[in-house]
Amino acid sequence: MGDAFPRRPSPAYRAAARRALRVTVSASAGFYVLLHGFDSAVGATYALFGAIAMAGLSHLPGSGRRRAVLLLGLVPVCWVLITLGTYLSVRTWSAVAGMLVVGFVLAFTAVGGPCFAGAATGLQLMYILPSFPPYDPGSLGERLAGATFGLVLLAVAEVTLLPEPAALPYRERAARAAEGAARCADRLRSAPYTLPEAMLRTARNLSTGLRSSHVPEAERPAGAGVRARALAHTGLATRTLLGRLTALPPPPPTTAPPREAEASGAGAPDPLRAVADVAGETAARLRGDMPDGRAHARLRRIRQALTAADDASPAVLRRNAALLELVDAALAMSTAADIAVRGRAADAPAPGPFWYARMRAPRLWWRRLSGHVGGRSVFFQNAVRISLALAAARLIAGVDTLPHGFWVLLATLTLTRTTVRETRRTERIALTGTLVGALVAAALLALVGTDIEVYAVALPPLMLVTFTLGPVKGVGWAQALFTVVVALVFAQLAPATWQLAEFRLLDVLTGSAIGAVFGLLAWPRGAQDELRRSVAVLLRIAAEIVVATTAQIAAGGRRVPVVTAPGHRSLQHALVMAESAYAQYQSEPKGPAPPRAGQDWQAALIAGHHTLWGADRLLVPPDPVVVPPLGREAAESVIRTGDRVAADMLLTSARIDPTGDTVDTPVPLHAPTASATIAVDPPGAPRAYYATVSWLVSLTTDLVRLAGDPRTAADAPVDTRRSHRAGDPGAAPTAGCHDETDRQNRP
């Protein structure tokens, strides 16, 4: 323990100490007031374990004030759980059935975002606590009062005892990024038509600040409601806009500079100025102002002009295609921000990428939950694993009438991990810590005997040390110290001997063994296998969409606004599954065999987003329009390039998740560079040709990066690799989630 208390505590120790102080004060106050002031041992137990469950064993994100509000909102939920646990504990079979159902429901709520995931463990404990004899419905009032008292004390402590300052809200992050985009757009209107290095760094930092991995959990817009989805959509559209601005090609030498052309009235209105105006309008809206929306309407008119401009040189058409992507990202950002601020009262186009804007919260939540019901969702897998383990633990504890069987389920709940390898490692360390703690507790109980005053004085400082060192030092320290804590608690509730420590060790051993068994039987490799399968499915569906999109572009025809192009809902669902698996995969320790060098899983997710956004942008216009077919040479070029990209997707999919007879030899990707594509441009190709080719080139860049080919590391600017996601504000995550993606916020 030499380094348990460093001379200069790290931020992790300081954060743990602040939380430990709040847990200790609220739990101790509730315990002693009810035990000695009201002579209610039952109420004291529920007050203490209620505070420990929701703050010591759970991780509620956010500032102290936000956690307090969340705790008060969870009080009625705890009432329901305690009532169910009290009445279902009358028979072992009903207690087991209740544990199976309630355990699954509480674990599955993690799909709702970090707040739900953070509260799940504590809520599980609030149901487990009354699920054991004595069967005493008459004490239900004491149980509810004790738990309520403990949670209220904890909420007060969260607000008053060393509260953390509120983090920068996501809306403000998005507003600052929009302001940065406005400055970039204005700078690109003048020679040399590129951004200086300082502005590039600022744009990248603003974009990175909107990534879910760089946003505190409580501030991530990961909910299923309209405003949360729209705010996530705003962030991704803003990142897209910043990325496209940093990669915008300069205007052809033969054209008038944008600023001078607009000033002289020699050409169409400058799209970059309109983009800058819309970005400024968006920032103001996110900060609470209500702009009139004229900049948005003007940008829509400019978009129509860009769409109709087909009679120009190839250089101008390439520039227009890039500008059109900028305009689309800016319009998506502006519309999403309006929905994020005004909710269903906003003027959102429907149908289209803002399909959620008119839906009520219950329907949106149903879509979120139903999308994860199935064996391919890691949220579903985790919920099944933990619910089966808890039900088995309750059955064994009930049949064998284990003393303090509550500890069996607590060990199962806290020690089971998503991979069998990590479960074994965790349990080995936890059992060692429990053994040490049991020896200390046994010696203490034997020496002190029934002198309750000693236990009462020793409990608060020991709790403070336990909840300070446990989260930082690891599960071994946590189990050792917590074993002594529970010994001191139960020694004050009833006369105890050294055998109490023996029961604690036996129960933890039983619970950990149950967790190990179900970790081995239920998806033992965690997200590793699921990630390979889901990414392979994602790429196969994306390949189909690439082929279908290029064929429709070549054939032309009538385009009308729809929610998405055909087949895209399947790709959206595949993205949800892959993003969830990727988020969990990031949080899991890797096995002894490291992943293949250069494998970039995130590139596959980005490729999926690029496929969705690009195909929708090409095939789903904001207004009905008739698109003429491409010429013969342009159509052949687009279809040929699309087929090659789709073939590369299928080959990459086969290498990621091979079947028994798949050749594992790497197959070189047909990577068309931008310069090569431009060199073979057919004469007279329209704007749609250049927009489609630009989309296909970006997909190929993602595929080469996914395959681990170092040749593309410097081929594309950093931000352009993530620049097509405005049409699909994914989440995250989450939980370890999601580094890059907000998992369930489909557009």
638-693 confidence digits (pLDDT tens): 888 899 999 989 888 888 876 655 555 555 555 444 434 444 667 777 878 888 88
Q: What is the pLDDT of residue 183?
A: 95
% pLDDT > 90, the chain:
33
Query: Distance between CA 468 and CA 481 in Å, rounded?
Result: 10
| Residue 637's pLDDT band (cuts 50, 70, 90) | confident
Q: What is the pLDDT of residue 662?
A: 57
Residue 479 or residue 630, greater confidence: 479
Which amino acid does the sequence have at 256?
A
| Residue 311's pLDDT band (cuts 50, 70, 90) | low
Average the pLDDT over 464-487 and give the result: 92
Q: What is the pLDDT of residues 17-27, one digit of tens each?
A: 999 999 999 99
What is the residue-averaged pLDDT of the chain? 81
| 565 dihedral zone (left: phi>0; alpha: psi -120 to 50; beta) | beta
| Residue 376's pLDDT band (cuts 50, 70, 90) | confident
Q: What is the pLDDT of residue 710?
A: 41
pLDDT at 84 over 90: yes
Q: What is the pLDDT of residues 201-223, one digit of tens each?
A: 999 999 889 887 788 888 888 88
CB proximity list for 138: less than 8 A, separation 6 or greater:
none
What would the two tokens of residue 675 be?
């310069």
Average the pLDDT over 106-114 and give the result: 88
| Residue 596's pLDDT band (cuts 50, 70, 90) | low
Query: Distance between CA 692 and CA 331 in Å, rounded?
Result: 20
Query: Distance between CA 701 and CA 25 in Å, rounded?
Result: 55
Q: What is the pLDDT of residue 149?
A: 96
Least confident of 107-116, 330-339, 474-483: 107-116
Counting Cα atoms < 13 Å in the Cβ hemisphere of 319 gives 20
pLDDT at 304 over 60: yes
pLDDT at 711 over 50: no
% pLDDT > 70, the chain:
83
Query: Distance between CA 333 and CA 285 in Å, rounded?
Result: 11
Least confident of 28-32, 454-458, 514-518, 726-730: 726-730
Q: Which of 167-181, 419-433, 443-457 has maximum average pLDDT? A: 167-181
Handedness of CA 491, 494, 495, 496 (dihedral sign): negative
Average the pLDDT over 264-282 and give the result: 81
Least confident of 427-441, 575-589, 720-734: 720-734
Q: Which of 247-256, 352-361, 370-379, 476-485 has maximum average pLDDT? A: 476-485
Handedness of CA 117, 392, 84, 373 (dihedral sign): positive
**Phi, then psi, of 371 in degrees rounded to 5:** -65, -20
The structure's pTM equals 0.81
Residue 5 or residue 272, greater confidence: 272
Query: Distance between CA 219 and CA 212 in Å, rounded?
Result: 9
Q: Please tell me whether residue 456 adopts helix, strand or coil conformation.
A: helix
Per-residue CA distances from 73 to 77, 242, 713 (Å)? 8, 38, 48
Average the pLDDT over 253-268 and give the result: 58
**Phi, then psi, of 267 in degrees rounded to 5:** -155, -170
Query: Distance between CA 447 and CA 381 in Å, rounded?
Result: 47
